[in-house]
Amino acid sequence: MRNFDEKDITDAVISRLANSPSPRAKHISASLIRHLHDFVREIEPSQSEWEQAIDFLTRTGQMCSSTRQEFILLSDALGVSTLVDAINHRLPSTATETTVMGPFYVEHAPEVPSGSRIAGPAEGPALLIEGSVRSVDGQPLGSATVDIWHADEAGFYDVQKDDVNLSGRARVRTDAHGMFWVIGAVPAAYPIPNDGPVGRMLEAQGRHPFRPAHVHFMVSAPGHETLVTHLFLADSDHLDSDVVFGVKDSLIEVLGTAAPGTTSYGATVETSTPVLRRDFVLGKALSGAAARRPHPQALY
Amino acid sequence: MRNFDEKDITDAVISRLANSPSPRAKHISASLIRHLHDFVREIEPSQSEWEQAIDFLTRTGQMCSSTRQEFILLSDALGVSTLVDAINHRLPSTATETTVMGPFYVEHAPEVPSGSRIAGPAEGPALLIEGSVRSVDGQPLGSATVDIWHADEAGFYDVQKDDVNLSGRARVRTDAHGMFWVIGAVPAAYPIPNDGPVGRMLEAQGRHPFRPAHVHFMVSAPGHETLVTHLFLADSDHLDSDVVFGVKDSLIEVLGTAAPGTTSYGATVETSTPVLRRDFVLGKALSGAAARRPHPQALY
């Protein structure tokens, strides 16, 4: 096969997939080639624009480090992360709604006991974060893992700062009644990191880089779908223009006030403290798109 | 705007482009979002597959260095480079046909006088590379710039080797009659670098990584479209399955033999020498898609 023109090149590339050992990789590749070529035919890039695209992708990759994931930011800002999340959480459910993971999750954050202070005064005014985890059938899920991470009052996550200490971040386990609590800090709305290629893209698109104030949660328990979500603060700016399209009404919470003493979740505070409270509900495992189809360990 | 589902997310993201200061960036972004979302809806990636895609793109960016451009390899292997080349060279023309740039071009290669030896015995048997440059109206183009780069007999370019010397690479200028010549080496067919993400992709797609033997040329002259092309060796393997889809019949040359003495191009050889010869024809400037539309310096 030779002499490809702008029409027959697409079928030519797809025909090269004939001997793929992986039906899934073959399907994804063929779809990628078709849609990518359609995109190129639609925009008719000049050679210079193609070079700019190569450079943009290269800079995006090279901006990534152990504490910065520029391709996740790109996926988030283009609405792809929200789309993938929606595809994987299709079934009507009484489970807590999901939203995007974002780029600031840290694997293997240290586990702390419930009741720990996970952010100090430097991070902002104390915020009691308390809640419970149960299954869709109402059963409390003890020993469930709850990862929590949030920005500080200036809008920065621990991993964006120079010091190496984790803060505003913890993993706790629910007690036998499915309850947990920690003391964090009231987070601020913030711009996603915009000193890199994604920031330049947002400028070219005429968009602001802000997310409304929120706290991230990842909740997992055996036999249940892992829940990746946020709770948004009801009084925050940008709820209607979140740069990563993550806001759902069901995830917006008005902060309450915990009076001195012990709350019904077992939390103890000495002074009146703002509280973010949620009873999380996990769906049973095997309900998402991921589970409906086995997927290989690594495609490429 | 909140509560996006897998159908309305696309229009929501596109609506955020309303204030883009650049009509071209807005058009490209809207098209990218639409095609990218269609791709995602078609393949329905699991969260794990989305993570693999993020990781693949990140590794691709991080593989790039001053001597390795993995995103160009990706564009080449997916047929995108050939498609962009076709879109930018649409008009029927008697000019020499174009093909892809590839990832091994080096900007600002040192200029050498015509007649220079640009590859030594270590690179393989000597190859006389001679030719001329003229305009579509037949006028010889003196002082045209001819960039030449080729792999050695083992299939490697200079920039893939540990030593820092350029070899198999030169920039020469045509003389008053539009002629040039250098002594290079007979290049071998070779696999594109396949120790990175693109190599893994080719494996998953069941494809070989080979390109047929060829010599790259980039020819430019004032008032003319710059020509980026190769000449392929007619006796090479893989002419019908070039991994980057670059082969065109008009670019295949049978090597000749230059007898001792001086050729009609002014080249002098002391012994019988294989010769790759081409009279390049450049189109007048302003004939491609690039010129039909002004484009901004930098989109993102």
Confidence check: pLDDT of B295 > 50 = no
| Closest chain A CA to residue B19 | A206
Residue range B48-55: mean pLDDT, rounded:
96
> Tokens 């001819």 appear where?
B146
* Domains by residue range for chain B, with CATH: 1-44 (no CATH), 82-289 (2.60.130.10)
pLDDT in tens, B9-42: 999 999 999 999 999 999 999 999 999 999 999 9
Q: Given phi > 0 = left and psi -120 to 50 = alpha, else beta, which region is A206? A: left
Q: Burial level of A131, CB count in 10 A (0-12/13-18/19+)?
A: buried
Are residues A79 and B12, on separate chains, in Cβ contact within 8 Å? yes
Q: Work out the mean pLDDT of chain B and round it to a whole number.
A: 93
Instruction: Report the pLDDT value the prediction gives residue A108, as an integer from 0 to 100.
Output: 85
Q: Which of B10, B27, B80, B198 to mutate to test the interface with A (most CBs of A within 10 A)?
A: B80
pLDDT of residue A164: 67
Task: Compute mean pLDDT per 10 residues along chain A, 300 residues long, and list them.
Answer: 92 97 97 98 96 97 93 97 94 86 89 95 95 96 98 93 84 98 97 96 97 98 95 97 97 97 96 98 73 47
pLDDT at position B297: 44
Backbone angle region of A186, left / alpha / beta, with phi > 0 → left and psi within -120 to 50 → alpha:
beta
Three-state DSSP class for B229? Answer: strand
Given an 8 Å threshold on Cβ–Cβ distance, is B19 in contact with A207?
A: yes
Give B137-185 pLDDT, tens digit per residue: 999 999 999 999 999 999 999 989 877 688 999 999 999 999 999 999 9
| Tokens 């399209």 belong to residue | A245
This complex has an ipTM of: 0.91
**pTM (two decimals):** 0.91
Res A5: pLDDT? 93
Task: For residue B294, give every residue at least 6 positions away whose Cβ sits within 8 Å of its Cβ, in sequence order, or none.
Answer: none
**Distance of residue A123 Cα from the nearest chain B Cα, in angstroms:** 28
CB of A39 closer than 8 Å to CB of B35: yes
Q: What is the pLDDT of residues B65-107, one digit of tens each?
A: 988 999 999 999 999 999 999 999 886 679 999 999 998 998 8
Of residues B1 and B60, more confidence is placed in B60
**Interface size between A and B, measured as CB pairs under 8 A:** 274
Q: Are B246 and B211 in contact (CB under 8 A)?
A: yes
**Are the beta carbons of A1 and B240 separated by less than 8 Å?**
yes
Number of H helices, E strands in chain B: 7, 13
Q: Do B35 and A36 touch (CB under 8 A)?
A: yes
- The answer to whether the Cα torsion of B289, B290, B294, B296 is positive or negative is positive
The beta-strand segments (E) located in A206-270 are 210-211, 214-220, 227-233, 252-253, 256-258, 261-262, 268-269
Give the model's pLDDT for residue A292.
Answer: 46
Name residue B126's beta-bridge partners. B185
Query: In the prediction, which pLDDT does B91 show?
Result: 64
pLDDT of residue A297: 44
Q: How far apart are CA A170 and CA A111, in angstroms?
A: 6
- pLDDT recorded at residue A261: 97
- Residue tagged 């909740």 (tokens): A219
Q: Choose among B5, B20, B72: nearest Cβ to A86.
A: B5
The C-alpha R_g of chain A, in whole angstroms, comes to: 22
- What residue of B is the nearest CA neighbor of A45? B84
